[in-house]
Amino acid sequence: MKTLPLSHLLVASALYVCQTCAVTLTDISQLKELTYDYIIIGAGNAGLVIADRLTENANTSVLVLEAGVSDQGVIPVMAPFLGPSVTPNTPYDWNYTIIPQPGLDGRTFPYPRGRLLGGCTSANYMIHQYGSTDDWAEMAKITGDPGWQWNNVKQYIKRHEKFVAPSDGHNTTGQFIPSLHSFTGELPISLPINNQTIDPRVINTTQQLPEFPFNEDMSGVDGSYLGVGWVQSSMDAGLRGSSSSSYLATSNDRPNLTVMINAMVTKLIQTNSTPAQGLKAFRTVQFADARNATSTTRFQVQANKDIILSAGSIGTPQILQLSGIGDPADLTPLKIPVLVDSPLVGKNMMDHPLLPNIWNVNGNDSFDHILRNANLLQAAISQWATNKTGFIANNVINNFGFGRLNASLLSGLTDPSSGPDSPHFEMIFANFWLNPNVALPPTGSYLTTLTALLTPTSRGTVKIQSTDAFIAPLINPNMLDTEVDIVIMRESVRAIKRFISAPAWKDYVISPFGNLSATADADIDSYVRQHTTTVFHPSSTASMTSETSTNGVVNPDFTVKGVDGLRIVDLSVFPFIPSCHPQGPLYLVAERAADIIKGIVSTR
């Protein structure tokens, strides 16, 4: 978000002293061993969960290789409100750019991914949900594994989630349902602590317009999050909660866990073949110093049991393709030997398109005047650094909502949702200018009502363009490529306009900003294509299918089809994108994956 320049934020970094700094290796010379039971590639959402759970057994050795840097002592990472400034175009970002999108009028823009300990959990907006019962049922159906049904998966909430009281001590009655949550797990989850001017307006609208009912608990633990309610975020006491600050902090002092940053995996190397099973074994990882893209020096480490790819929906298919695992049509032009013919590697990419709908509002109750003033912003950061209070200690949003289209609006089209309890679109309310790709105007106060498509039917790709791992792959989310996608985006705009038409907004909202005022189908569609960006939730580029299926990339036990010694655990394995913010579902998938890898549960 360009309204929070990193240069302003790093000034205060010396004010913050980390309480749980992880001890990590930064150079190959510090590695004491070159062979481990498991090697995990990527210290992100899933990778650090797996590392924590596997090293609970003191006899199991684990090496985590992370291409990025440490997350420690970085103000934008730790201060919740500053999360949007962690990316793009910073040392903590992979700094990708997507190729021009025909569905977005040929536009291209940055595509942030976290390149640091914690991965995207150290760079996202921290919103925490678990998906709908319908989503999990669909995953069980596609994979042929009934263990993915919600009634089974939700058991992992107990050891994952640690719900904590908001640090301002306010009464949370009516903001969440305690009986649905765990208070003893790893990742802190909490409610907003800084009441925004728009909060009562959002909640009052649910009483004024029956179309938008209030939902007391938006996590989805009870199966659905349709309606409007309070955001639950991975934060505690004014600090972001990430896989690094929780799972890694728990396991970091274990002598059987080694974490190395600045380790750029360049490819996996075939170790041998297992003719009896018809599989090719990959248990060697080649990597380079991520700080030196021009060096030709490469290092190797070995896994006795498994390599676990947790490099995310962009990094994972890139590494597979560089290793000769992928679609021959992608590999042969680059003269990469096809070791495993797996056509769907890098295919089936899905993401949530996001549209910032912005309104001109009265007064100075929005945060815009602070975000324009470096001195005011610095004072707020200093307050946070001193006692973890103020708006910097809170997420950027407090309320959101989820809705479905009336069936008549999908006449002649197939409903893309996984079931009646799953939403088609999301509404997010921010009391300031929140447009990831457009800078805050020099004057004015704004309300941003973002709408997101949660059930995209468009499919994109991730494809390497070089044998050099330091050259980013071609990323094509292929947004708004289908009729139903544009219909849902169009109707979500109309829905948010109806929401803002409630009496609760009468004395606050002045007018729509720009061409949000469009009313005809064609004009709204044009507005959507001109302004849509993404929530940056890429998924499904190494999708999971049933063990007997010849489609897909991985089996229900996370093993790569046609390969021995290699598993994938990250958002790329989801057969389809969850209809919610995906960090929560991925945490639960990683928890179950750890049990599967340890042999505690079976997928059959």
CA distance 45 to 121: 6
φ, ψ for residue 254 (rounded to 5)?
-80, 130
Query: In which residue are the tokens 């006449």 written?
Result: 411
- One-character DSSP codes across 189-216: EB---S--TTHHHHHHHHHH-TTS-B-S
Q: Of the listed 8, 160, 424, 581, which one is catalytic?
A: 581
Contact status, residue 479 vs residue 353, Cβ threshold 8 Å: yes
Q: Which residues are annotated as a binding site?
A: 265, 582-583
Choose among 590, 568, 35: nearest CA to 305. Answer: 35
Contact status, residue 423 vs residue 402, Cβ threshold 8 Å: yes
Spell 526-558 as b/e; 16+ CB within 10 A means b.
ebbbebbbbbbbbbbbbbbbbbeeeebbbbbbb
DSSP 21: P
Choose among 221, 156, 234, 231: nearest CA to 189. Answer: 234
Question: Of all helices (H) and strands (E), which one includes residue 284?
Answer: strand 279-289
Counting Cα atoms < 13 Å in the Cβ hemisphere of 104 gives 19
Contacts 24+ apart (CB under 8 A), 333-338: 334/464, 334/465, 334/466, 334/467, 335/467, 336/467
Contacts 24+ apart (CB under 8 A), 147-155: 147/556, 147/592, 147/601, 147/602, 147/603, 148/556, 150/223, 153/588, 153/589, 153/592, 154/130, 154/221, 154/588
Q: Which amino acid is present at 79?
A: A
First to last CA, the chain: 45
The answer to whether residue 181 is catalytic is: no
The answer to whether residue 128 is catalytic is: no
CA distance 259 to 434: 35
Q: Which residues are annotated as a binding site for FAD?
A: 265, 582-583
- One-character DSSP codes across 30-56: G-S-SEEEEEEE--STTHHHHHHHHTT
Residues assigned a catalytic role: 537, 581
